[in-house]
């Protein structure tokens, strides 16, 4: 059986690292677009069900980020506007903010930790760790 989840909580670790900024700079982020395609593998025996294992087989995640320009130096602003790490859309500058998006590519290790909550099995949260290039789907 295949499932599609588009509504989930998002937690990001290491966004400052990803954007090449010091840890003390505050970055706001939100889920711009998210879609997790997953299924369950059911292992059976003649006596019944041995295991039910959720498996993520595809994901699309886009994150929108925003930084107050007053928190940045001129060189940091220029670096963000010129940044091309392969996953970024071009950043944009407004009067007060630098904003951009990151579309995750397939270079991330996916950890599937979806578990039963009572009798319910669903994706609740996605944790993205940019420092370790890992996505954990809970």
- Mean per-residue pLDDT for 125-131? 97
Q: Which residue range is the domain that position 99 belongs to?
A: 2-137
Report the candidate in 116, 11, 12, 4 with the shortest Cα–Cα distance to residue 60.
4
Token pair 């071009």 is found at 90
- pLDDT interval class at 84 (50, 70, 90): low
The pTM of the full predicted model, rounded to 2 decimals, is 0.89
The share of the chain scoring above pLDDT 90, in percent, equals: 83
Total of domains in the chain:
1
Token pair 């059986």 is found at 1
């Amino acid at each position: 059986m295949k499932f599609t989840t588009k509504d989930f909580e998002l937690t990001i670790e290491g966004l400052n690292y990803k954007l090449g900024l010091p840890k003390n700079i505050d970055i706001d982020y939100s889920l711009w677009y998210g879609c997790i395609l997953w299924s369950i593998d059911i292992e059976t025996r003649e006596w019944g069900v041995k295991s039910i294992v959720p498996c993520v087989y595809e994901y699309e995640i886009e994150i929108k980020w925003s930084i107050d320009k007053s928190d940045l130096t001129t060189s940091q602003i220029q670096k963000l506007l010129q940044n091309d790490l392969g996953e970024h859309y071009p950043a944009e500058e407004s009067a007060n903010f630098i904003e951009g998006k990151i579309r995750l590519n397939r270079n991330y290790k996916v950890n599937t930790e979806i578990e039963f909550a009572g009798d319910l099995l669903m994706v609740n949260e996605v944790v993205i760790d940019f420092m370790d290039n890992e996505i954990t789907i809970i």
